[in-house]
Amino acid sequence: MSVSGMALILFLTFHACMNVVALISAEGYNMICEFLGANWYAVAATLVLVALIVIHFVYALILTVQNRKARGSNRYAVTDKPSQVEWASQNMFVLGVIICLGLLLHLYNFWYNMMFAELAGTEGLYAPGDGFNYIKQTFSQPVFVVLYVIWLLAIWFHITHGFWSAIQTVGWSGHVWFKRWRVIGNIWVTVVMLLFLAVLVGFWLCPDCVGKLA
Ligand code: HEM
């Protein structure tokens, strides 16, 4: 659970940093998209990513089933939940499902029109490497802006909990470091999510000024 989760956090960090390039330079961003197009290494990386997501999801299912079994049919002996039990920790699975639905939408918006189109030889609205225009077109529609904001929020809750839970699982936390990791994790995840948010708000509010800084 924790290793796949940490690898996914690393992927998200890279993905957010790359997306920020779209705010700065349309040409630079499309160069990255071409590089990460249907080349063998990019397809291989996508397969690794898919494997990580599947592993993460299967572990989550197993953990959820085990937890429910351990609690018996009466899921909570004490129904007043202790205040120190985080909301996110109790809802990791539900948040995970929202995240999966968002991911399906996201892959349809981008991956399907880009990598898949290139592999399958199909034609989308733009060239498969024209990530810049796909972002512009997607976030010109307020419904996608709203859905992506909800998605990012769910991801934020899911990972702020997941981050320190992963650190705890691999045993890097003493008393002091447990608290520190928690703060580091919260800052890290918040920055990554703000980078994603900056891209979608930038493209939504000012489609004509993004991508022209360099
Ligand atoms: C503003 C927010 C985001 C933008 C503009 C964005 C943009 C893109 C683009 C353009 C691609 C297609 C790359 C290609 O196929 O060549 C892509 C793929 C992808 N994105 Fe995002 N993304 C965003 C947020 C996210 C988030 C929050 C997640 C994860 C929860 C995510 C997960 C993925 C995955 C898994 C792929 C497929 C990667 C692959 O083909 O290997 N993205 N994204």
Does a structural domain hold residue 214? no
Does a structural domain hold residue 211? no
Amino acid 174: pLDDT: 72
* Choice from 23, 110, 205 to test ligand 1 binding pocket (greatest atom count within 8 A of CB): 110
Does a structural domain hold residue 16? yes
Pairwise CA distance, residues 33 & 19, whole Å? 10
Q: Give the domain extent around 125.
A: 2-74+86-205
Instruction: Tell me the Ramachandran region of residue 105: left when phi exceeds 0, alpha when psi lies from -120 to 50, beta otherwise.
Output: alpha
pLDDT in tens, the chain (214 residues): 778 888 999 999 999 999 999 999 999 999 999 999 888 999 999 999 999 999 998 988 898 788 778 776 555 555 555 555 566 667 777 888 899 999 999 999 999 999 999 999 998 899 999 999 999 999 999 999 999 999 999 999 999 988 777 777 777 667 788 788 889 989 999 999 999 999 999 999 999 999 998 7
C-beta separation of 185 from 160 below 8 A: yes
- The encoded tokens of residue 173 equal 């936390």
Domain tally, the chain: 1
Pairwise CA distance, residues 157 & 96, whole Å? 10
**């199909």: which residue's tokens?**
122
Amino acid 113: pLDDT: 95
Pairwise CA distance, residues 29 & 21, whole Å? 6
Does a structural domain hold residue 210? no
Alpha helices in the chain (DSSP H): 2-24, 26-35, 40-71, 87-90, 92-106, 117-120, 131-138, 142-169, 175-205
Amino acid 3: pLDDT: 85
pTM of the model: 0.89
Pairwise CA distance, residues 186 & 190, whole Å? 6
Does a structural domain hold residue 67? yes
Residues lining ligand 1, judged by CB closer than 6 Å?
Answer: 12, 15, 19, 33, 36-37, 45-46, 49, 103, 106, 110-111, 114-115, 131, 134-135, 155, 196, 199-200
pLDDT one-digit tens code per residue, 124-155: 899 999 999 999 999 999 999 999 999 999 99
User: From the CA atom positions of the chain, what is the Rg in Å?
Assistant: 19
**């990580």: which residue's tokens?**
52
